[in-house]
Structure 1
Amino acid sequence: MSPRKSIHVFAAILALSSPAFAGDTPEIFDPQAPAAAMAAKYVEIENPDYLKNVKRVVIPSFMVEYVTEAKASAELTGIALAVGGASSALIRMKGAQPEQFQAVTDRLYEQTVAELARAGIEVVPQAQLKASATFQEIAAKGEKAPREEEAKGGKGVYHTAVDLPLYFMNEQAFIQKLFSKPKDDIYLTFGTKFGSGFSTAQIPMLEEKLAKEFDAAVLKVRITFLGGTAQREHSIWTGGSATAQGAASFAPSATRYAFINGNGDKARLSLKSTVNTGHLGELVNVTSTASKAVDVARNTLTVASRLGAAFGMRGVDLGYGSEVEYEWRVEPGSFEQVIQNYHPAVARMFLASLASVAK
């Protein structure tokens, strides 16, 4: 059989016999389900021994990131490497108003304090905290919110509750683990993570001092809110793709409670899976016709080139990156309602995890 005929036969086999392999779409979260049962499924506990005696907390940091442009990507694996490369999707949130973000952030703080009180944990009042010279020193080393950040996971804006300072920490370095690779924080840039070690180098010592001053554990809250969840699809013939679901979600790893006691001991509760509400908005593909045509042409040339190389034929490996753009269109009122309706369930999961280690 000639090399040219071999290419056509091999391509036909791939097209007809190779199904698309779809990545797992996060299941819909049930906010009415028992918190303890959901916590076992959704929450990761690190250094539980340091959480056993948490009865009182002081909150110097409460920040929420609203990811307004989410990025998703998929890469081919195995035999699919013969014909494909990486694909990407960009999801832009449309409809939510920037002035809503601060009001929602303050409301999430109020909900957190209420859930802590319901769980029997005392919260140091903000008036007492802000009167503290130690806290004032921490605040001086932070910055005023809001702040935009564009990282691997997309572009977002950070807000802080009740006029608290905005200061970042390197999540990967917060708790050192031997023999395990730290999780990548895709919602902070390398510069922010690296730079925070210099600009806020003294804050951990001040946080220990704050814990001793108030006889309480320092609690730092970070919430990362996404405008959609990515779904990966791998097809051997057509190449990889990254699609998305327009649903309000709380991001894993980047939604967490970090604790520090007066001895400098650290613990953390974080989401290990996406909390997908399944609600809010419409996802619209706004990829231009020209972009789609270019992607098809590049994919076709790449497949031909790589199959030709497999059969000893010379060709140019152009590679490809199929880029799809979406708009996630939301109603401002629904935006606030869904976040505020689901957030208490996330807080209850964290506190159920806290209660589980105290037994």
Structure 2
Amino acid sequence: MQRFSLLDLSPVPEGHDVSEALANTVTLAQAAERAGYHRFWLAEHHNMPGIASAATSVVIGHVAGATHTIRVGAGGIMLPNHAPLVVAEQFGTLATLYPGRIDLGLGRAPGTDGATMRALRRYAQQADTFPQDVVELLGFLGPAEDGQPVRAIPGAGTQVPIWILGSSLFGAQLAAHLGLPYAFASHFAPAMLTEALHVYRENFRPSAFLDRPYVMVAAGVCAAPSDDEAAHLRSSQLLAFARLRSGRPGKLPRPVADIGTEIPPAVLAQVNQALSCSATGSPETVRRQLGEIVAAHQPDELMVTGMIHDPVARIRSFDIAAEALADLVEADAAA
């Protein structure tokens, strides 16, 4: 493993509002920069009361302006919701304002419900145009060509690094075909992780962007001074995910004493399986569990994420994780 990074969903905790959530995101990004994280990514979600990063490119610009060296990007932009030209202009502008620091991860799913898609003025089509849209976007961000009828200004020539995000084999195949870096959403959908990484690595075609495969694996993390405290803090995320799965999304709940009394056993089993690619516990426990994930999947980069109701405890959690991840990077470099 060469690097470690952080995905922030900009959670809105119960008892707080969106303004506070966005301020917490900036504070977390600044802490992540100090702790040695390589990237700080934000994700596009719409019509979600507990997530404040719907205008993802705007939040990326806000975070980049409040930090100095850490890369800031999208993990990801849901491309079916947008025209490729608009995305190229947005991220071309960001790359112009913050050169060498902007990433663009692309997702294939709309990331929302049908009514919200219609409100976004994007409509499901019979044909999946994601591959063509990615290629079009790459063209807008590449060098302008003579006679090109439409150019992204800003955007053309910025060469913003594009990542393919996925939780199935489709994204792995597309990333391999285009020679792009690949990030797997194992923090909430780990079922096909091993197979997807194999497909990507075996079928990768060198390109102008990469000469060899580059894999990012995502994992949840909730670290605290003790295993018991970490488990207590993580109950917020388990409860939020269960409510989302049950069609009742809301703000990030406060932690509870006994998660088993809050979530039916069958639903809790599904939640635990979906969030199984994770590390929860004391510094020693988290170091061991993150090491097991890295050893099993050999990622070039590990991106951690985690939602904790208390923003101070959340920063502490990622600080603890950073120490463990730095040790893993150092050990891999020495091997």
TM-score when normalising by structure 1:
0.30
The higher radius of gyration belongs to 1
TM-score when normalising by structure 2:
0.31
Larger relative contact order, structure 1 or 2 (CA cutoff 8 Å, min sep 6): 1
**Structure with higher strand content:** 1
